[in-house]
C-alpha cells in the first residue's frame, strides 16, 4: 500500500468553461476504515458531464462540491482493508467515492463486481451508471414500439451509444448525431445505427429530415441547444422527448432563451420528460438485461481510457471538447 494518497480537490468554482486552475492535486495520508467501512484502492475513476453542475454554488439534484474539498466520482477498485462483514481484502467493488487513489466508504454503499462477467472497467460504464441511465431513460421514458424512429444526440457517448443499440434491439429505426466522422462511422458500421449525422459538418435540420423522412417518434436528448432546435421540427405527433442531458449548456454563463417550443408541444401533443438515474433503485434488473445483451453480442461498447491519476482533469475537460468515443475513464492503478 502507498505511503501517501493523492486527491483532486476543487480549487475554485469555474465561471464558464473549467480549466486546469479549477483543480488542485493534494497529498494526504492513506485513511483507515472504521467500523462498517471499507478502504478501496482506485483502479478506474469515471468522469461524467453531470460533474460540471457540482462545481456550481447552486441548488441541484446533486450536492455541490465546496472549494478546497475533494471531488467525487464513480469508482471501481480493489478492497485494500475492510471492517465490513460483506467485503474482504481483494474484492472488487464500485461506488461513489473521492477523486483519490484511496478512499474510505460505508460498506453498505458499495456494490460487489464480478470480474468473470466483464472487464471491471464496465462497472462505471456500460454496466454502471451510464448503462442504467440509458436503459431506464429509453425503455421507461421513451416507451419504444417496434417501427418507431429514434434520434439520439451525443450518440457516440457512454449513454447515447447504449440507447441507440437498445432501440435497434426493440425494432426501431435509429439516427445518431455525433461530432466526428470517426464517431459516425462507428455508429453505423459497428453499432447498427441506420444513419448518423455529423453536426459539425452537416446542416442538422436537413440531415435529420433526410434520415427520418417519416418523422421522429422518440428524441433522446443528451445535448440541448442548437442540435435540439434542429431536431424539433421533425418530431411527430405524440413524440416522446427524453431529456437526459444538456451538455452544450453546462458551461454557459447565461442560458439562451432559444426558440419557443411550447406551441409545438401543444399542437403535436408531445411528451417531454426529464429524469435522473438516481430515481431508480432497480439497478440489478437493468444490469442483468444489459449484461445479457453484451453476452449475446447485441450490445457493444468502447472505452476512452486516460492513463494516470494526475491526468484526471484532462479527462474531464476532454468531455466538453468531444474527444471521447464511448465511456471516458481514468486508469488510476493497476488491475488486480
Nearest by Cα to 197 from 152, 149, 159, 257? 152
Write out pLDDT tens, residues 42-65: 999 999 988 988 898 877 777 889
Tell me the pLDDT of the chain (336 aa) as tens digits.
778 999 999 999 999 889 999 999 999 999 999 999 999 999 999 999 889 888 988 777 778 899 999 999 999 999 999 999 999 999 999 999 999 999 999 999 999 999 998 999 999 999 999 999 999 999 999 999 999 999 999 999 999 999 999 999 999 999 999 999 999 999 999 999 999 999 999 999 999 999 999 999 999 999 998 999 999 999 999 999 999 988 776 666 666 665 556 678 888 999 999 999 988 888 999 999 999 999 999 999 999 999 999 999 999 999 989 889 999 999 999 999
When the candidates are 3.40.50.720, 3.40.50.1110, 2.60.120.920, 1.10.260.40, the CATH number that belongs to 129-278 is 3.40.50.720
Q: In this structure, what is the dihedral angle of CA atoms 131, 134, 139, 141, given to the nearest 10 degrees?
A: 140
Quick one: pLDDT at residue 157?
95
The answer to whether 218 and 148 have CB atoms below 8 angstroms apart is: yes
Is pTM, for the whole model, over 0.85? yes
Cell of 24: 488542485
| CATH number for the segment(s) 4-125+302-331 | 3.90.180.10
Quick one: pLDDT at residue 257?
62
Cell of 280: 431508480
d(CA 227, CA 307): 32
Residues in the chain: 336
Determine the straight-line distance between the first and last CA of the chain, rounded to whole angstroms. Answer: 13
Tell me what percent of the chain is helix, strand and coil, each rounded to the nearest 5: 30, 30, 40
Nearest by Cα to 91 from 101, 104, 81? 81
Quick one: pLDDT at residue 259?
54
* Cell numbers 439562451: residue: 256
d(CA 85, CA 36): 8
Q: Enumerate residues 6+ apart whose C-beta is below 8 A from 30.
A: 1, 2, 3, 4, 5, 39, 102
Quick one: pLDDT at residue 2?
78
With 0-12 / 13-18 / 19 or more C-beta atoms within 10 angstroms meaning exposed / middle / buried, residue 131 is buried
Sign of the CA dihedral with 123 first, then 125, 127, and 129 last: positive
Cell of 150: 429514434
Dihedral-angle region of residue 297 (phi above 0 means left; psi in -120 to 50 means alpha; beta otherwise) = left
d(CA 253, CA 160): 26
d(CA 116, CA 122): 12
Cell of 218: 422518440
d(CA 115, CA 119): 6
Instruction: Give the DSSP letter string of 90-111.
Output: T-EEEEEEESBSEEEEEGGG-E
What Cα–Cα distance (Å) separates residue 306 from each residue in 78, 147, 181? Answer: 19, 39, 22
d(CA 155, CA 316): 18
Quick one: pLDDT at residue 246?
83
Question: Chain-centre distance of CA 218, in angstroms?
Answer: 19
Amino acid at each position: 500500500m502507498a505511503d501517501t494518497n493523492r486527491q483532486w480537490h476543487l480549487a475554485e468554482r469555474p465561471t464558464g468553461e473549467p480549466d486546469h486552475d479549477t483543480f488542485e492535486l493534494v497529498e494526504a495520508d492513506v485513511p483507515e476504515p472504521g467500523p462498517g467501512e471499507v478502504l478501496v484502492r482506485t483502479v478506474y475513476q469515471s468522469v461524467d458531464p453531470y460533474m460540471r453542475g457540482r462545481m456550481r454554488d447552486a441548488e441541484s439534484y446533486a450536492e455541490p462540491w465546496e472549494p478546497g474539498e475533494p471531488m467525487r466520482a464513480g469508482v471501481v477498485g480493489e478492497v485494500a482493508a475492510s471492517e465490513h462483514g460483506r467485503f474482504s481484502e481483494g474484492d472488487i467493488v464500485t461506488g461513489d467515492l473521492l477523486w483519490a487513489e484511496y478512499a474510505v466508504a460505508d460498506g453498505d454503499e458499495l456494490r460487489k463486481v464480478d470480474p468473470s462477467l466483464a472487464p471491471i472497467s464496465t462497472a462505471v460504464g456500460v454496466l454502471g451508471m451510464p448503462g442504467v441511465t440509458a436503459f431506464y431513460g429509453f425503455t421507461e421514458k421513451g416507451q419504444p414500439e417496434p417501427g418507431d424512429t429514434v434520434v439520439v444526440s451525443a450518440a457516440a457517448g457512454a449513454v447515447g451509444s447504449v440507447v441507440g443499440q437498445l432501440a435497434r434491439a426493440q425494432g426501431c429505426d435509429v439516427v445518431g448525431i455525433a461530432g466526428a466522422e470517426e464517431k459516425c462511422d462507428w455508429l453505423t458500421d459497428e453499432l447498427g445505427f441506420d444513419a448518423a449525422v455529423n453536426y459539425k459538418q452537416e446542416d442538422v435540420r436537413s440531415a435529420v429530415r433526410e434520415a427520418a423522412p417519416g418523422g421522429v417518434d422518440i428524441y433522446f436528448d443528451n445535448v440541448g441547444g442548437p442540435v435540439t432546435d434542429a431536431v424539433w421540427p421533425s418530431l411527430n405527433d405524440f413524440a416522446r422527448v427524453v431529456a437526459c442531458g444538456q451538455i452544450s449548456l453546462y458551461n454557459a454563463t447565461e442560458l439562451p432563451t432559444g426558440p419557443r417550443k411550447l406551441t409545438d408541444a401543444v399542437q403535436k401533443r408531445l411528451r417531454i420528460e426529464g429524469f435522473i438515474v438516481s430515481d431508480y433503485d432497480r439497478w440489478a434488473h437493468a444490469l442483468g438485461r444489459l449484461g445479457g445483451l453484451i453476452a449475446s453480442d447485441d450490445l457493444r461498447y468502447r472505452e476512452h481510457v486516460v492513463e494516470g491519476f494526475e491526468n484526471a482533469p484532462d479527462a474531464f475537460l476532454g468531455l466538453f471538447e468531444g474527444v471521447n468515443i464511448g465511456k471516458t475513464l481514468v486508469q488510476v492503478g493497476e488491475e488486480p
